[in-house]
Structure 1
Amino acid sequence: MTAGQQDRTRASRPSTPRPTSARGARTPEAPVPAAPRSLTWSLPLAVLVALVALAVGGVFSAAFASQLLQDPGTAVRWGLPLTTVLTELSLAVTLGSLMLAVFVVRPGRALDTALSTAGAAAGVWAVCALARVVLTGANTVGLTLTADGFGEQLGVYLTQIPSGRALLAIAVIVAVVAVLALLVATPTGAAWTLVLALVPLVIQSLMGHASGSTSHELAVSSMFMHLVGAGVWIGMLASIALLRVRRALDGEALAVTVSRFSPVASWCFVLVALSGLVNAVVRLGGWSGLSTDYGVLILTKTALFVVLGGFGWAHRQWVVGRLGAVTAVGATATKAARAGGAAPAAPKTTALFWRLASAELLVMGAVSGVAVALGGTNPPDDNAPPSAPSPAYLITGHELPPEPTFARWFTEWRWDVLLGFACAAGLVVYLRWALRLRRRGDSWSVFRTLSWVVGMVVMFWVTNGGPVVYGAVLFSAHMLQHMILAMVVPIFLVCAAPMTLALRALPPRKDGSRGPREWLLVIIHSHYGRFFAHPIVAALNFAGSMVIFYYTPAFEYALSTHIGHILMTVHFTMAGYFFANALIGIDPGPSRPPHAQRLLLLLATMAFHAFFGVTLMSGEILMVPEWFGLMGRPWGDTALADQQTGGGIAWGVGEIPTVLLAVFVALSWSRDDARVAKRRDRKVDRDGDVEMDEYNQMLSRLADRDGR
């Protein structure tokens, strides 16, 4: 059996059936002792510490002092940051509880408690978000809440001002999240609710930095990463504590939950550290900014963050391993203890975890208060646009890059922290999975590992290097970026077989919860997964979405907005992956047609690409003329000539990966025929050539009949 056959066999093994959870339809569970009193008090104390930190930080920086012009009053100036703190904390608990329901806890009491906790927290979040709408409106229009005409001005703010509409949309979405969290009863429903709960974070990230300011894309991406990382980290720990207070976690379940939470907390630590560093660099404007009030708050938040990192290190050193060891060694004793209604062993380790968790929650509350005070303080560098912006800056938000040369394609950079982090994380995770297989004695192809490394490196360059710098001002550079994303990177990713590696490296779960491996199998075998992975659908999506993208407002949206650029990058990379995986991949999912049909499908796609490229080359109408036509470039071809060059890139450069795919399909066809021939030869050697013997006997009978 070849390596590819082994990969397909191991990846397609059926998983162990998991019990489902329905509220009110479960077997009774053993009672859990009451939570420690210190843990019960740590949660409200964390909120109190956050409010105290907010007050101290606000007084220090005078962020909430009275304004000389259009002062909205003391109630608004202090009520808005107070509401913001409560919003951030309830947001975190909502995300954390949903994360526990989706990835950590098993069906039963723990799942139901996590979902009800998420619903209650989202309800508080919705009320605070609505209050924040009113207070922000009062602060924006400069009127007190009791002033004459405030209601009318608030209506104008909510209907005509973009920030007002965005805040109102957040409140409505959060209210829907609260209702869904209380209605759903399965991990799948919790997953869809979690996806919806991330939408307000996207909106809030887009509001956090003016689109006309410098470093807009960098600030938006880092803000989203910061909100998600901090929210999940704080929220999951607080939700674990709430589940223990509500007696939904016993000692054994706590050990499993903590072991699953630990790697998530590590990734959140990296997310918060990286995004916080980027935000500080963007807003401080240099080392001198550290001496300002804003800089002092940054240093204070950094010190508290280092303390949180120390708590995480202590958890890993003193708690996680010991809880896991006690659970593994004392499984029999644990079952006996649970049957008698007693808590499992390891009381010292459990008590140590709760002491560390309680202290960590207090520090997290302080960090939340300082963060809100920091958000209300004017930064040293407001990233204001230049006084005399160039046409390129007015359109793209960046100065015109120098004329492209071969060297500048690799020396000009525009960092996208979100996509860059995704590439780095993908590289780290894949290498860890490959090393895990090797440590346990299983083989994994070095070629596949190198293919993944090359794919991630190329992806990082395309999204952070020359293609993205010049893709904003040249249609030809944008088309080159598109072709690499859709046709070059996916070939390397498909050859790396990431899903096959994940299914072999990720451990299966035995308690009915869904971990990464279980969710991957759910997605692969879902109706949506099978539909988009179908070869014909993948080909239509790969080719048809290109026409829809370039001949609709989607192209302009991807050029003019950061979220549009992110969606474009993700869509065309995934479309290329689905198409290449249907032709040459070994990852599970699509029902691959015979090799002859694959070649026909590939040739049809190649012809479509050629037609699309020729259409652009011969076109006389400039796409998005208010973008490419007004760039004011003193170098290079005219915008229309550059667009025609982009058509040549779509035809010529796009055909090279297509021909390479055709070669791979032909080689796969040849290897498949060789395997069939070898199997037949082994069968002949073992049983004789039965088919040939029967054929000769038929010929003999026909000859005898003709002779008669």
Structure 2
Amino acid sequence: MTSSKSASAILGRLGARGAVLLVLLLAAVAAAVVVPLSAMSTEVALEMIGVPDPGVLTTAGLPAIRAIGELLASVAVGTALFAAFFTPPQKDKTLDVDGYRMQHISSWANIAWAVAAALLIPLTLSDVSGRTFVQSLPPDQWLVAINQIDVASSWRWAAVIAVVAAIGQRLTLSWRWSTIWLAVTVLSLLPVAATGHASGSTAHDIATNSLIIHLFSAAFYVGGLVAVIIHTMRGGTRVALALRRYSVVATVAIAALAFTGVINAMVRLHPADLFSSTYGLLVVAKALLLCLLALFGLAIRRRIIAKIESTNANAPVDRGTLLRIVLVESAVMAGTIGLSVSLGRTPPPAPLYVPTRQEALLGFELPGPFSFETVFGLWRFDLVLGLVSVVLLGLYLWGVIHLRRRGDSWPAGRTFFWVAGCVTLFITTSSGLGMFMMADFASHMVGHMLISMLVPVLLALGGPLTLALRALPAAGRGNPPGPREWIVEFINNPISRFLTHPIVASIQFVAGFYLIYFGGFYETLASEHLGHMFMNVHFLISGYLFYWVIIGVDAAPRQFTSMYMMMVLLSSLPFHAFFGILLMNYPTVLAEGWYAGIGLPWIPDLLQSQRVGGGVAWAMGEIPLFIVMIALAWQWYQSDMREARRSERQAERDDDAELKAYNEMLAQMAKADRRH
């Protein structure tokens, strides 16, 4: 116990310098792991791409800076997470002292992450061209790298997004804004998924999706852990509560890391190469480290959380023991980041066969024309929206079961609509339709209409926000907000009030169609897996936002009558119809280079496929709107019935005083008319 107290006291005296020293220590661990491991395969990699040795500043500096950059990004994510969700806001909804400290640290980490990403631009140019790092440093060379090398362009966007998050964190102290800057910070990791082997391998759609989940999970795991350490070192309050919440985050993150790690290994490795290649051995080493991290997490829960829960929730935390465990765990995680970066620098074993043109562009091979057999006979699990549909379905059913066990009822119709929406989303993204969407414009438009028009209608009719508010417990006075409070804040804040105005919701929903397809963006989005994923996510969110407001099953920041909603819906119908007609008559093939490069033999006329897609948009766009009109008419009818029942109850209470007063008024008017 003495050693625990002394360790805690020493770390506490370090104050703000302790956070800097901790990050420097972890950065040193990550660099110490990645540099020698990357050096093992540098010569082979340079020989494979056929460029001269750019020098030690590049061969050692690029992996080291990348590992340090990813660590800094994780710190920025973790401390922003802590500020937003692990500390309670003050009465005026601003961050408290602990939250402000964490957001301040996150801002500095974002700035450092942006600097590292910027340095990776000339380092990438040096690595690809074979010129030295010094020769790649002039500003004009940076422009060459950004314009001609996709990886360098990705680092540019990562730096820009990180700077935006850092500035935003310095300018705002509001708790609700802290969640937005957390989202922007997480978004800065997205361009990293476009680098490395994932974007260039066969099955790169699966590899890229799994890498996105992998990066986000690692950031929340190591970043949240660093935030807990800093909070404990500085003598912060509610350490036990923060540890419980982080334990939940860590459990989900470690499961996601293990799952996506297996997916990536299956995509890039043959089982025979697992122990016979450098890449395979690194994968095995990373798996062992993840198992070690899981054991550390178990130790935290058993030795710290269990002790607190068995005694008193307000009992003092054994900070010394906690710090010793999590410091070792964070060092192992930093080493794992270094190992992961070295994997990206190590060439995987050569594939057993030469991929076809379709596989090189799409990541998979389509067996034949679009048909019932090919759509429902092919399945390729979408690791993003397919997984989202499964998680949303599970959470919703958990809420319904929780209400039933409590003795409360929930309409079966709402459950039916939600299940139908989740199943439709899963089929659209994970069946053969999801595969054809990337290769054929007509198939893409079928998926687009389902994701943007039908799925959001079904989900909105399920009333998920109402279910969540009824099923989730309150966080308790003085505690950091929990999921229920986050939902309430999501509904009742100025941004939501603006976005959920029916006119604004209609404009963003309709304008997205025209901007993407006729604003010059579709060519770029269709030819990139991340662009395709962006379109799907955009269609789903914009559609749900529109129908959440229009249908009105869930509470919204603004309340309007069913008649008003019906008028807004009817006013949007011509724009949907005109979009389909415009597509059918558009003289230029959209994304012609992409579709021609795929060269599906059963689609000889790309313009005809586009016209079919326009017909699909025109025909399918009206069906969900018709469903919504029925729902609005039903709500209108129910509202009138409720008003009629209210009037009847009032009449029974006061012996129909309102009707008698009305009749008396008519009688008085009649007498007055007779006198005149």
TM-score bracket, shorter-length normalisation = 0.7 to 0.9
Structure 1 range deviating more: 300-309 or 547-556: 547-556
* Pair 1:657–1:127, CA change in 2 (3 A): closer
Aligned to 1:23: none
Kindly indicate whether the alpha-carbon contact (under 8 Å) linking 1:583 and 1:592 is maintained by their aligned counterparts in 2. no
Q: Choose the corresponding residue for 1:54, options 34, 50, 70.
A: 34
In structure 2, how many angstroms separate the alpha carbons of the residues matched to 1:693 and 1:383?
Answer: 90
- Quick check: 98-107 or 500-509, which moved more? 500-509
Equivalent residue in structure 2 for 1:597, among 539, 564, 586: 564
Given that residues 81 and 224 in structure 2 are in contact (C-alpha distance below 8 angstroms), is that contact kept between their aligned partners in structure 1? yes
Could you give the per-residue CA deviations for residues 120-152 of structure 1, whole angstroms, max 9, x where no partner exists? 4334434444444444333333234567x8758
Cross-structure match for 1:293: 278
Q: After superposition, where does 1:9-48 map in structure 2 within 5 Å? A: 35=8, 46-47=26-27
CA contact under 8 A between 1:483 and 1:650: conserved in structure 2?
yes
Local SS of the residue matching 2:8: coil
Give matches, 1:164-563, under 5 Å. Answer: 164-171=152-159, 173-175=161-163, 177-178=165-166, 180-182=168-170, 184-209=172-197, 213-247=201-235, 249-250=236-237, 253-324=238-309, 326-328=311-313, 331=314, 344-345=315-316, 347=318, 350-381=319-350, 386=355, 389-390=356-357, 396=362, 398-509=364-475, 510-511=477-478, 513-563=480-530
State how far apart, in whole Å, the 1-side matches of 2:369 and 2:515 are: 31
Q: Give the Å deviation of 1:176.
A: 5.2
Paired position in structure 2 for 1:24: none
Aligned to 1:78: 60
In 1, distance between residues paired with 2:619 and 2:86? 49
Whether 2:108 is the aligned partner of 1:98: answer no
CA distance in 1, matches of 2:449, 2:200: 29
Kindly provide the CA deviation profile for residues 73-115 of structure 1, in whole angstroms up to 9, marking residues without a partner as x: 3343223333333222222212111111111123433123212
Instruction: Kindly provide the CA deviation profile for residues 654-681 of structure 1, in whole angstroms up to 9, marking residues without a partner as x.
Output: 3222222222222222221111111111
Q: Distance in 2 between matches of 1:383 and 1:213?
A: 13
Other structure's SS at 2:257 match? helix
Name which of structure 1's ranges 638-647 and 302-311 shifts more when overlaid on structure 2: 638-647
Question: TM (normalized to structure 2)?
Answer: 0.86
1:493: Cα distance to partner?
0.6
Tell me what 2:623 maps to: 656
Alpha-carbon distance in 1 for matches of 2:134, 2:578: 65
Q: Residue 586 of structure 1 corresponds to which residue in structure 2?
A: 553
CA deviations on 1:601-645 (whole Å, 9 max, x unpaired) are 333333443444344445565444444466544336843333333
CA deviation string 1:570-591 (max 9, x = no partner): 2222232233223323212153
Counterpart of 2:332, as a letter, is V
Match of 1:10 in 2: none
Are the structure 2 counterparts of residues 635 and 260 from structure 1 closer, same or farther at C-alpha, using a change threshold of 3 Å? same
Contact 1:63–1:373 (Cα < 8 Å) also in 2: no
Find the aligned partners of 1:183 and 1:615 in 2 and give their Cα distance. Answer: 44
CA–CA distance in 2 between the matches of 1:650 and 1:168? 36
The AA in structure 2 aligned to 1:430 is: Y
> For this pair of structures, how many residues does the alignment match?
653
2: distance between equivalents of 1:155 and 1:614?
44
Residue 148 (structure 2) aligns with: 161
CA RMSD, 1 decimal:
3.4
Q: Which residue of 1 aligns with 2:91?
A: none
Against the structure 1 CA distance between its residues 49 and 583, is the aligned structure 2 distance closer, same or farther, given a 3 Å change threshold? closer
Aligned to 1:380, what secondary structure does the other structure show?
A: coil
Query: In the alignment, residue 181 of structure 2 is paired with which amino acid?
Result: T
1:679-694 matches, within 5 Å, as 679-694=646-661
Q: Which amino acid aligns with 1:197?
A: T
In 1, Cα distance between equivalents of 2:97 and 2:657: 62
Whole-angstrom distance in 2 between the partners of 1:319 and 1:286: 40
- SS of corresponding position for 1:417: coil
Shift of 1:481: 0.9
Residue by residue, what CA displacement relative to the aligned partner does 1:438-478 show, whole Å, maximum 9, x if unpaired? 44444333432333222112112212222222223333222
Question: Does structure 2 conserve the Cα–Cα contact (< 8 Å) formed by 1:212 and 1:385?
Answer: no
Q: Is the contact between residue 84 and residue 372 of structure 1 (CA under 8 Å) also seen in structure 2?
A: yes
CA apart distance, 1:211: 5.1
8 Å Cα contact 2:199-2:207 kept in structure 1: no
Counterpart pick for 1:89 among 71, 80, 85: 71
Tell me the distance in 2 between the aligned counterparts of 1:273 and 1:445: 38
Amino acid of the residue matched to residue 161 of structure 1?
Q
SS in 2 for 1:291: coil
Q: Which moved more, 1:516-525 or 1:238-247?
A: 516-525
1:463 partner amino acid: T
Given residue 500 of structure 1, which amino acid in structure 2 is its aligned partner?
T
1:561, distance to aligned residue in structure 2 (A): 1.9
User: For 2:183 and 2:337, how far apart are their aligned partners in 1?
Assistant: 23
Distance 1:490 1:196 in 2: 24
Distance, in Å, in 2 between the alignment partners of 1:93 and 1:384 is: 41
Say yes or no: does 1:669 pair with 2:642: no
Read off the aligned partner of 1:301 and give its amino acid letter: K
Structure 1 residues 143 and 537: CA distance shift in structure 2, 3 A: closer
- Residues 210 and 385 of structure 1: is their aligned pair in 2 closer, same or farther, counting only changes over 3 Å? farther
Q: Whole-Å Cα distance in 2 between the matches of residues 352 and 327 of structure 1?
A: 18
Q: Which moved more, 1:157-166 or 1:461-470?
A: 157-166
Gaps spanning 5+ residues in structure 1: where?
A: 1-31, 332-343
- Stretch moving more, 654-663 or 285-294: 285-294
2:646 counterpart SS class: helix
| Residues in 1 aligned to 2:141 and 2:188: alpha-carbon distance in whole angstroms | 21
Q: CA offsets per residue over residues 177-224 of structure 1, 9 Å max, x none? A: 445545543434433433332343112111224756422322222222
Matches of 1:313 and 1:276, distance apart in 2: 20
| TM-score (normalised: structure 1) | 0.83
Report if the CA contact (8 A) 1:256-1:324 is conserved: no
Please name the residue that 2:97 is paired with. 109
- CA shift for structure 1 position 63: 4.1
Question: Deviation digits for residues 367-398 of structure 1, max 9, x if unmatched?
Answer: 22322332221111479974xx54x5676565
Asked if the contact 1:177–1:197 (Cα under 8 Å) also holds between the matched residues in 2, the reply is yes
Q: Which residue of 2 aligns with 1:7?
A: none
DSSP-derived class of the 1:413 partner? coil
Q: What is the distance in 2 between the residues matched to 1:200 and 1:401?
A: 37
The 2-side partners of 1:381 and 1:443 are apart by: 58
Shift of 1:682: 0.9
Aligned residues: percent identity? 32
- 2:542 is matched by which residue type in structure 1? A
